[in-house]
Every structure is written in C-alpha cells, then in structure tokens.
C-alpha cells in the first residue's frame, strides 16, 4: 500500500509590523486586511504578504511613489497665504488674507463655479487700481478650492454644534441623528 501524501506546508504570510511604520512614516495598516499596507503618499494598498519589508521597499523605490512624493512636496495651503518678503504678522498681509477669504466666501455663497476665481481677482484689481490690497490678491481656482475645503470643515462643525444645542432638537425625540 502507498503511504498517504505528506501534508502541504502552510503558507505563512507577512503582516504589517510596528517597525515598518517607524521606518517609513507613510506606511500604515491597511483596511483591506492584515497582509496589506497602506501608503499615505500614494493612497494605495500594497500587498506585503509574500516578502514583507521587501514589498514595501520595492514600492517606495517605484516610479509611482516617487512621482506622488514630489507632488505632495509642492505648495501647501499655509504657504499659499504667506506673501514673499512679509511676515505672517504683517497687517497688510492679514488684510489680503481676509479679502481672499471674503472672495472665496462670496463664490461659495452664490454657488458660483470655482473657475470664476481665475478672473475675479483681475476684475477687482481693474476696479480698484489704487488699492494695495486688491493688487496683492492672488487667489485663483486651486487656492480657492483648497480654502473652500478647509473652511467647509469648520463651518460643518459649528453647524452641527448649533443643531445639537438648538431649541428644536429635543432629546426626547431624536429624529435626525447628528454626528460630526
């Protein structure tokens, strides 16, 4: 009689370790599963089940990761506000930032396309040629989009807080569950 075949070796898959996130801060645990890592720069899930550390290093050295890393090093929203040669505490700079915020608020309140922001500062400059604040407005579509996204978070939080404490929101009957 023949002997039974030997049992197959069980595959041991690698998981995300704490050392990986310490060595590469952009690598986190993935929501897909234990055998995947999430790259915050690429917003991609990487399978690390086979080689673990080698899979991560091959992803980090890939062209896709390097290209996305260069894009993320570009101008941040706080650097967009800082005027060249002026400190952040400068009164004129604060007035320009306030004017840009008012312009973005106007665009959002009137439900205009954010592409209007490409030509609106030029219109304001031509309407007010003697205004130094109008001449320093530098708020096109990309900056307006970033400001709208950041300001919408603050507005949403304050709206939820007001709705939670408002007189119409009785705790006895919770018709609309509010979450932040």
pLDDT classification of 88: cutoffs 50, 70, 90: very low
Note whether 121 and 103 are within 8 A (CB).
Answer: yes
Is the pLDDT higher at 162 or at 62?
62
Q: Identify the band that residue 179 occupies on the pLDDT scale cut at 50, 70 and 90.
A: low
Query: Tens digit of pLDDT for each residue in 67-76?
Result: 887 766 665 5
Cα–Cα distance, 158 to 155 (Å, whole number): 5
| Alpha helices in 26-140, H assignment, sequence order | 53-60, 63-72, 77-81, 91-109, 120-127, 132-135
Question: Which whole number is the average pLDDT over 145-160?
Answer: 86
What is the model's pTM?
Answer: 0.46
Question: Span 119-138, mean pLDDT?
Answer: 92
Query: Would you call 45 helix, strand, or coil by DSSP?
Result: strand
Q: Residue length, the chain?
A: 180
Supply the pLDDT for residue 100. 92
Contact indicator for 129, 122 with CB cutoff of 8 Å: no
Which stretch of DSSP H or E encloses residue 100?
Answer: helix 91-109
> For the chain, what is the radius of gyration of the CA atoms?
26
> Residue 12: pLDDT band by 50, 70, 90 thresholds?
confident
3-state secondary structure of 70: helix
3-state class (DSSP) for residue 167: coil
Domain limits, the chain: 18-64, 77-165
* Percent of the chain as helix, strand, coil, to the nearest 5: 50, 5, 45
């Amino acid at each position: 009689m023949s002997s039974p075949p030997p049992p197959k070796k069980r595959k041991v898959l690698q998981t995300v370790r704490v050392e990986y996130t310490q060595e590469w801060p952009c690598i986190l645990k993935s929501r897909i599963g234990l055998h995947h890592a999430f790259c915050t720069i690429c917003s991609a899930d990487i399978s690390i089940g086979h080689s673990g550390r080698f899979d991560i290093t091959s992803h980090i050295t890939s062209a896709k990761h390097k290209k996305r890393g260069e894009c993320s090093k570009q101008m941040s929203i706080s650097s967009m506000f800082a005027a060249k040669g002026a400190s952040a505490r400068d009164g004129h700079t604060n007035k320009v930032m306030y004017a840009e915020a008012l312009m973005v608020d106007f665009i959002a309140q009137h439900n205009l396309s954010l592409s209007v922001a490409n030509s609106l500062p030029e219109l304001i400059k031509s309407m007010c040629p003697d205004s130094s604040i109008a001449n320093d407005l530098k708020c096109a579509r990309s900056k307006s989009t970033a400001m709208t996204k950041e300001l919408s978070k603050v507005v949403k939080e304050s709206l939820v807080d007001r709705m939670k404490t408002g007189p119409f929101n009785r705790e006895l009957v919770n018709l609309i569950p509010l979450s932040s």
